[in-house]
Amino acid sequence: MKIKDNFWLGLLVGAASFGLLFLLLSLINWESLGAFSARAPYLLAFIPGVILFRMMLVKWKLDKMGRGVLAVTVVGMLLVFFLV
């Protein structure tokens, strides 16, 4: 099956990957671990976006989707650093 190279689809994939992992990480009691701050689940949830970005650009040759995932990752990280 051929995947359409679309910027908006990349935004959706990046947001979905962040959202799903963040939901899983929010189940962990981060305060009991002690060494981690309140930003830890947010920042860890961006890891799949970075991995997807690399795979889409290098391995799958989906440039527009990779840019969409990168946009979600960068804007999300900036929001976490400035708002949380």
Residue 72: is its pLDDT beyond 80?
Answer: yes
Over residues 29-67, the pLDDT tens digits come to: 877 777 667 778 888 999 999 999 999 999 999 999 999
Instruction: Give yes or no for residue 20 having a pLDDT over 70.
Output: yes
Per-residue confidence (pLDDT) for residue 35, from 0 to 100: 64
Q: Tell me how far CA of residue 14 lies from CA of 3, 5, 28, 40, in angstroms.
A: 15, 14, 22, 18
What pTM, to 2 d.p., does this model score?
0.87
